[in-house]
Amino acid sequence: MWFPNAEVAINPALLLLLGVMVGTLSGFFGVGGGFLITGGLLVFGVPPVFAVGTGLALIMGSSIINTLKHRHLGNVDLRLGLIMLVGTLPGVFLAEQLNTSLEEAGIIGPVIHYVYIVFLAVLGSFIVYDHVKQRHKSATANGEISTASLARRVQNMRIPPHAIWLPGYGKIPTYVHLPVSQIDQLSVFIPTIVGFSVGFFAGLLGAGGGFLLMPVLIFGMGVPTTVAIGTDLFQIIVTGSWGTFIYSLSHNVDPLMAIIMLGAASVGSQLGTTATAFVEPARIRILYGVTILGGCIAVTLEQVSTFSEGIEFLSNVASVVLLSVAGAMCLIIAVMMIRAKREIRELAPTDD
């Protein structure tokens, strides 16, 4: 099928498959799926700048669907999400300006590929390491992470000014209570800085920033896994919307491609969001780590395939790896949810 905006021909079945997997993994992991969307589109041969812009459009739509579902489950900390957005929007705008400069210099493709590879490799390796480290400890039973002490230090940080004066309100403290995230007191400057950093990389890589934000919320700030998932998705709505608007002004979004994938993503999101209520947080984290490592391998293979004509076949291998890992995770999520539901029914009291 020919997509005129991106000027590329892609089998629509691949886009539908990618959409279903993105919806499922987005709802389950609390990410917009940018690491899979942009990586997948790059593997399918979509020009880098269109992979970024179209990826943001799909992220916007799928995140709205998944956030509404997680909001119903009580997994969204609106207060934390709104504070982070103060820094997110400037970060996305700055990244778009950088991407435009990189495109004019003709180096945007390699830059996006290499930055993706580094971030996915580091994050995936750390999450798997955390799981292995905690597996034999009693802390695993209650879902505690290996960086729990670091998260507590971050929560206890005191960053001046400790209060600001607002007309009509007087002095307002710069610390906030976040009961949904189980945080007694947190400086508003911490989530603002986090929001700016995530927004910048979201705009640079064409992702909602969720693949970075979710681990930061869990391992850096100590937010419970399920709340981090829902809050991450809420923040991604605005990130994706703002990023889509900016890229559409430059005509770097293919709406037809985004619509096809969004229709499929809406189906997968129902499975992903529901599964979070039945799967243990530690298992969610390890599955997420394995998934982004799979994405890292796929993008690496795609980049290596450009080095020589003799190894161009690695591009096809990358496509197989990406879809295989994502598909396998979707099946694992479905199986884990079915097993958990079955166990609940078996433990439920029956009427004699």
Least confident of 1-5, 36-40, 58-62, 322-326: 36-40
Q: Under a CB-based contact definition with an 8 Å cutoff, are residues 51 and 232 in contact?
A: no
Residue 25 Cα distances to 36, 62, 272, 296, 332, angstroms: 9, 10, 6, 16, 11
Residue 283, pLDDT > 90, answer no
Count of residues for the chain?
352
In the predicted model, what is the mean pLDDT of residues 314-323? Answer: 80
Q: With cut-offs at 50, 70 and 90, classify the pLDDT of residue 61.
A: confident
Q: With cut-offs at 50, 70 and 90, classify the pLDDT of residue 139.
A: very low
> pLDDT value at position 27?
85
pLDDT digits (tens, 9 = 90+) for 217-268: 999 999 998 899 889 888 878 777 777 787 788 788 888 888 898 888 888 8
% the chain with pLDDT above 90: 12
**CA–CA dist 251, 302 (Å, integer):** 25
Least confident of 136-145, 192-201, 298-307, 327-336: 136-145
**CA–CA dist 292, 331 (Å, integer):** 16
